[in-house]
Structure 1
Amino acid sequence: MSNEDMSEENLPSEREHAHHGAVEPVGDPFADPGLPPHEPRRQDIDERTARRSERTVALLFTLSMIATVGFIASYVIFPIDKIVYIFPFGHVSALNFALGLTLGVALFAIGAGAVHWARTLMSDEEVPDDRHAIEASPEVREQVFADFRQGVKESQYGRRKLIRTTMMGALSLVPLSGVVLLRDLGPLPEKKLRTTAWRKGMKLINQNTDQPLRPEDIGVGSLTFAKPEGLSDDAENFQTVIAKAALMIVRLNPEDIKDKRELDWSHQGIVAYSKICTHVGCPISLYEQQTHHVLCPCHQSTFDLSDGGRVIFGPAGHALPQLRISVNAQGYLEALGDFEEPVGPSFWERG
């Protein structure tokens, strides 16, 4: 027999295909093997094992509730500046560590409980289903609802009251963590946005020289920046205080002042206005001597310091607040109180 005949003899016929010793039609090389026989779990045949799984799931949900309560309690127990040593992380914030640990445990316990519930108590029998059109027929929709009801029944949600109760408790408590986090976005402003550091009798301090200002120190047409007496540039809260209390002082000819209240609140033509723009709070630093206008460099809002600091151009919402000033017995410029309206962006006009 030739090599050609031997090779043709070993080839499968056109009607058959050899595969691991089995003969299959050539036209169907990937036949559907079907689903393997369903093997019941121990929980399916042993109620004691099922109850043990139920208690495990309930324990995880209960652990989530305890962790959530611990998350909220951490805000009360740990001060924000407390530092502790925790191996292997080193020195960390006690508050941040407690919050991360308790929230992580709360979320993990819910997830682990749900997974254990699904793997041990819910039905795990695979059911094949043919594909169908995107738009379901009434019969299919009814079948979906029937399958859902069957799934609820097989999940034993109604039967396992301990799981149901602890799961609802865990899911109800976890959102409280988000409420606490929202509260921790920062301290409530209370009246801090409406007041500044200026008080009656407080001297005006030159921000460049750190010396009290006298009327003769300010020439006509000049622009001077001032801060409240007692505020050091090295103070921890300097930026917070100066962000609202920054003051610009300009000396005008009294006859150029158009607003009567501005004239009454000034001293010999010296007027004091907030340096904070009423648009988005940028510091104003550009002064036009001939027009008495100040310009905000951020969005070009323009204010007329000879007419009550009113807006004459730009997106600013209201006039610059004016500080009422006078001269004390020692000849220094001093404030006669705080600004009468809040400084900065006009949030308060929308109240």
Structure 2
Amino acid sequence: MKEIKAVTGRRKNLLMALLMILPLGAAVFSLFIGRYHITPEEFARAIAAFINSGINTNNAETVIFKVRFPRIIAAALAGGSLAAAGLAYQIVFRNPLASPDVLGASAGAGFGACIAIIAGASPLVIQGTAFLSGLAAVGLTCLICGRLGRGEAVLYILAGMVINAVFHAGIGLVKYTADPYSQLQTITFWLMGSMTLIELSQLPILALGTVIGMIPLILFRWKLNLLSFDDTESSSLGLDTVPFRLLIIAASTLLCSVATATCGMVGWVGLMVPHIARSLTGANTRYLLPASFLIGSAYLIFIDDIARIMLSIELPLGVLTAIIGVPVFIVLLVKGQGKWK
């Protein structure tokens, strides 16, 4: 029995090593593809020039360091954050259809971004406003549940539906009052998800939010397994479910808000990727959580590549994630229906 467990553990460790290579390989590949083709020789010269004198006006250096590099890093962090947040929500609410927008984080972030766009704010201010608005939306959800005096998962979902509806109504109102020739187009494209406006100055906020949000999930990932049981059973195993659930919700909301604030409302990543990871690693969050983050990172890098090169105009990320995610999720649903009951 111990030998079987050791073999299984070695296989999962090997799988995790391969998954760590996946986003790195996707990032390297993405640096070379696009409408401006980068050869390995140009890439090597750009790296050497950057080390010696920083970013110059050379086309290759500009494309690599000011366009593609920020987009790749943002896609990797945002994709991993959405996938990890989606997995945490599915575990916390014991619902395989839970996703990062279940508590209103995405809708709140979208509303904040719309307000900032209407005000003519810079991309960095738009990102900050969206981030704070997403946190405020989830704060309202938790406040409603706190006033009810109970911490059941279903109450969070119901309160999240209410907050989602309120902020989506706010988004509709802002779009109705926006300038149809400039602001409305920007708002619509941002709400569908895009990496077009990503700049190096936006990456520190995204990276910091991702690190802070992932720390409690990584440190307590073994306790996440206990949330799959009933609250009574979890409590009998020594887990104080209500404060722990709030901690996981706060960390997941931070991940969702900072990702949405950076690349807009990108759906299906947090819903689909955790199920793909679960089919590879099993339900143990020791492996499932990092696998979800790594697969989500590689997946959104891949989606952004398609958005950049598929047509002469750049496609919204949310449209592509839905087109790809729906059939994949249907296949996962059919194959795993017995396990979902």
For Structure 1 versus Structure 2, the TM-score category normalised by the shorter chain is under 0.3
Q: In proportion to residue count, which structure has more strand?
A: 1
Choose between structure 1 and 2 for higher RCO, CA contacts under 8 A separated by at least 6 residues.
2
TM-score of the superposition, structure 1-length normalised?
Answer: 0.22
Higher Cα radius of gyration: 1
